[in-house]
Every structure is written in C-alpha cells, then in structure tokens.
Structure 1
Amino acid sequence: MSNATDSDDGTDEPDAETAPEAAPDADHEIPVPLRDNLHAIVEELVNHEGLLVALDFDGTLATIERRPDEAAIPDRTREAVAALADHPNVAVAVVSGRELADVRERVGLPDVSYAGNHGLEIQADEYEVHPTARDAEEDIARLCDLLRDELADVDGVIVENKGVTATVHHRLVDDESVPVVENAVEALVATRDDVRLTTGKDVLELRPAVEWDKGEAVRELYDELVPDGERWLPVYVGDDTTDEAAFSLLGEPGLGVKVGDDPGTEAPYRVADPESVRAVLTWLSDYGVGFLDADRRNVPVGTA
C-alpha cells in the first residue's frame, strides 16, 4: 500500500493486557506496504464499528490464468477469507465479473456474500438479479452465437456466455489478430441499443445497457450487510479497470486497495499480487479487527 505516514498522537502508554496489538510477532508474514501505512489503516479501524471487505476474484484472490476456467483460489487464501468472515461485526463479499454461480463454486465458502456479473447478480441474504439484466439474457445468448460464428477462424478467442452478460477473451489470440476481435465486437454492439461494451484485461464485455457496476454492487452489499445505524468501514480490493468504479465509490469513507502496478487508479493503496492480498486478509483477521471501535487510550502509540 502507498501514502500515509506514521505519527505519535501523544496518547498514554496502553495497558499491555487490554491494548490491541499493532503488529504481529516476527514470524508472522505482513506486507511491507501494510506496515508503511499502519497508522492510517488503524485510524480508520478505530473510527468504525465493523468491517465490510469486498474482494475481486481474478487477479486478486486468484492469479490470472491464460484460460478463465483454470483460475483457482489457493487453499491458504480461502482459509484467510473464511477466518476473516468468521469474526463478529465483519462481512466479506466476493465481487466478480464472473457469473455468480461460477465464482461461488470457485471460492467455495458459504458464509460470504457474492456479487457476480459486476453486481448484476447479488447473493447476500437472498439471490437477486437486476431486472433489466434478466430481460437481456436471450439477447446476450444470441449475440454470443453471432460472435462465435464470426470469430470462428480466429485462434484462441473465447466467447463466454455468463447469462446476463458475456465476455470475449482474447488473451490467447495472436497480437495481430486482436484488432479483428475488437472490431467484430464493436461493430455488433454498435447495432444494439440494449447492450453496452466495456473492457478489462484482455477481455471485451457485453453488458445490458443499465447503469450498474462494481461500485453499485458494493453500495448494495453495504446496505444489505451492515446493520441499520452502525458505521462500518468498507474495504475494496481489486486489480482490474472494472474495479475502479468501486474505488471511486469508496472515496474518503473507505479503503481502496489496488493489486498490481497498473497506473491511473482511484485506489489510495497498493499491494503487489494475490499473495500480498492473502497476507493483508490474514493481518486483518489476526490483528486488525481488534482495533474496530477500540478505546483510543488502549491503542499503541504511533498507530492511531
């Protein structure tokens, strides 16, 4: 993570028996960027009663693979997510461009919430689909069939029908053929008023023409998961351009964490890779939650 500097706020020395620990023992793995910004992070935790952690999947919980069906969450990461979700006053959600059923199966944790297709599908207390998106399913299926026919001669292209959206993957396509894929998708979408085109890492995405994105998904999850009248800290972790909507939504009240070194992000913090994400989740579970709504007199000097 980047930005923020440590400072001493002049509070009294804490009682060793009651103070939350700011940092783990020497054997506990914690990313350097997290240590560099410990003061700012602890300050936010102290100022809130609970924690909502929303996590992208590909490139965040799992490494990006050449084929989308090969992506898998490591066991240690799954354990870190489960441990964090098990805390009181903590809710965890996975927010993905994948179809909800797909990402839920890959994560495999029943005690977290899910948002699929960039939030057009949400499962918190119950399963919901955006009504405009549901109406578009047949059109999306027809567009997928047209694109498969038109791009049949392009090696490596994958047209994925995700129900209420579709993704055209060109990571495996030769560089000289990528414009052929892009032009075909753009030309098809240009003939439709009910579908819009967005882009991500080596993908083109066809979505219903509705103003909905991962930012709106996080807002909806916050409304559903946070008890009325309580002030929880929203945290969003993601690596792709589609995650910028969530970073923009959080602004000052939340913590946005960009995974990787892509420039031009709205997130104020960064970590290097999915392994660093796992370490952050572990720190939050083992130490960070202890600062939620903590008495400042018991917070170690120099952390908040």
Structure 2
Amino acid sequence: MPDTPDIPDSLRENLYVAVEALVEHDGLLVALDFDGTLAAIENRPEDATIPGPAREAIVALAAEPNVEVAVVSGRELADVRERVGVPDISYAGNHGLEIHADEYEVHPTASEAEETIAHLCDLLAHQLADVDGVIVENKGVTATVHYRLVADDAVPTVVNAVETLATPRDDVRLTTGKNVLELRPAVEWDKGEAVRELYDRLVPDDRQWLPVYVGDDTTDEAAFSLLDDRGLGVKVGDDPGTEAPYRVADPEAVRAILSWLSEYGVEFLQTDHHAVPVGGA
C-alpha cells in the first residue's frame, strides 16, 4: 500500500484491525457525530462549522460503491443537514428521533411531545433569564440547555432549574452531555437505536456491511455499545470511560480517517485474505 503519512498515529497503530474488519465485509456504513467530531465544539451552537476538507472527505467516501455515510447528531435534523451540506447522505437528528434516509420520518412519540417541549423551553427561558450565558434551545422534538458560557458559580442554578422542572414528569427524560442538559420525550431511543435503524434501512438484506461509528460525547456511548464487537467504534478526544475500543484526538484526525477510508480502506472490502500482504496495512 502507498505510504499514508496523513493518518493519525492511533489509527496507524491499529490499522491491521481496520483492514481485517474491512476484508471480512462487503460494504461499509460510516456514522458520524457532528459537534466535536466533524466540527469543533463552539461556545455557541450556531457558530459550529464543518471545515471544507472534512466535507470533501465525506463526499469522496459517500461516492464509493457499497458505502453509506450518515451523520447522527443531537441537533435538529434540518440544522445539522444544512451545516454538513452534503445532500446525498443520510441524517439522524435529535439523537435519531428524526431520520432522513431516502425519506424523512420522525418518531411518533417524539412528534406528540413537541408542544410539551416548547412549553418547557418557555418556562426555562423565563426562569433562567437572569443567568448570563445560558442558552435554551428548542429543537422541536427535544430541547437543549447550554451552560458552557455560564459562570461556574451559576451552573448549579441552571442544573437545579432543569432538574426541578423535568424530574417529576413521566413524559420527559433528562440526559446530559458536554456542558449541556437535554430534555427528550420519554421514549427508549438513542443514538444506538438510530444506528441500528440506519443499518436496517441502508444495508441490503443479503449483505454484511461493516458499521463504523465516530463520536465524542456521552450521548455517543449508546452507539459504541450497540456496535460492540460487530463494528468499529472510535472515540474523539480524551474523555475517560468510553465503550469505544479506539480513539483519535480531534476532528482533524476524523477527517484523516475518512480520507484514508475513501482512498485506501474501501479497496479491502471483499478482498481475498490471501491478497492482503503481511504488513501491507
């Protein structure tokens, strides 16, 4: 194989694992988180952008035969789709409560919760109006309260307000992420279920494709757990306690992985084991 100096060291050290997994499958499903994975995390969610080279890497990979790419985000589907800006791939928004793979669908329980979510957002916006830096984001079927810009001594006020509002309710569940609190409909659905649904929709019934998931946050752990030893999970960043067996440092390393997959990795799909040179990865 040609020299590939651009790939991150953590991938290079485990390249044989990726190659062996690719050889054993006849297709590839790559699912990617957005914030902290494709785009750097920003203090304000509206400031997050995907670098041009990362978008180009997605386009190149998605153009390969027997490959599907999906972006799985906590953002509202329309928002993340616009920010990624690649029309011919699949998207899952609001942690998979919204999915667009050929056609758009929203989880029925989540759809019924939109009025409740909007009402809770109004209450929180009023209760937290005096807290500098807090952002209450209504995402349709879910809501996110961002406190990255809130002073440390005011964070407990934000957390207490959200917990007091959400905890007594049986129609809403509270989850956490990096400097965020999220209100979701009380339905058993997460990014793991989203990846399962995408695999069922995108992979032909008679084929065995390799699922790969790349993410950086606690909400991505459900997808890592789903893959287990059936796919490849890649954690972005150095947060401890992940189910993902592999790590890379940052979104630039993710871009490098996508580029490697499109330029070299897909060549190993359906390859005879004997045709892969020892050390050739």
1:255 partnered with 2:232 = yes
The amino acid of 2:10's aligned partner reads P
| Structure 2 counterparts to residues 222-261 of structure 1, below 5 A | 222-261=199-238
**Displacement of 1:302:** 3.1
Q: For residues 217-272 of structure 1, what are the alpha-carbon distances to aligned partners after superposition, in whole Å with 9 as ceiling and x for unaligned?
A: 00000000001110000000000000000000001110000000000000000000
**Displacement of 1:192:** 1.5
Aligned to 1:101: 78
Aligned to 1:66: 43
| Structure 2 counterparts to residues 89-238 of structure 1, below 5 A | 89-238=66-215
2:46 match: secondary structure: helix
2:169 match: secondary structure: coil
TM-score under structure 2 length normalisation: 0.99
1:179 match: secondary structure: helix
Return structure 1 stretches of 4+ with deviation > 6 angstroms.
none
The amino acid of 2:128's aligned partner reads L
Q: For residues 277-299 of structure 1, what are the alpha-carbon distances to aligned partners after superposition, in whole Å with 9 as ceiling and x for unaligned?
A: 00010000000000001011211
| Structure 2 counterparts to residues 274-285 of structure 1, below 5 A | 274-285=251-262
1:34 partnered with 2:11 = yes
1:93 match: secondary structure: strand
1:80 partnered with 2:54 = no
Deviates more, 1:45-54 or 1:185-194: 185-194
2:31 match: secondary structure: strand
1:141 match: secondary structure: helix
1:25 partnered with 2:3 = yes
Unaligned runs of 5+ in 1: 1-20
CA distance in 2, matches of 1:181, 1:38: 44
CA distance in 2, matches of 1:130, 1:181: 29
The amino acid of 1:187's aligned partner reads T
Q: Work out which of the two has the higher radius of gyration on C-alpha atoms and give 1 or 2.
A: 1
**Displacement of 1:303:** 5.0
CA distance in 2, matches of 1:34, 1:191: 45
Contact kept, 8 Å, 1:42 with 1:303, in 2: the verdict is no
Contact kept, 8 Å, 1:124 with 1:224, in 2: the verdict is yes
TM-score under structure 1 length normalisation: 0.91
Q: For residues 13-71 of structure 1, what are the alpha-carbon distances to aligned partners after superposition, in whole Å with 9 as ceiling and x for unaligned?
A: xxxxxxxx3xx336x41111111111111000000000000000000000000100000
Q: Alignment length, in residue pairs?
A: 281
Q: For residues 171-210 of structure 1, what are the alpha-carbon distances to aligned partners after superposition, in whole Å with 9 as ceiling and x for unaligned?
A: 0000000000000000000231100000000000000000
Structure with greater contact order relative to length (CA < 8 Å, sep ≥ 6): 1
CA distance in 2, matches of 1:65, 1:273: 13
CA distance in 2, matches of 1:144, 1:274: 31
Aligned to 1:15: none
CA distance in 1, matches of 2:48, 2:138: 17
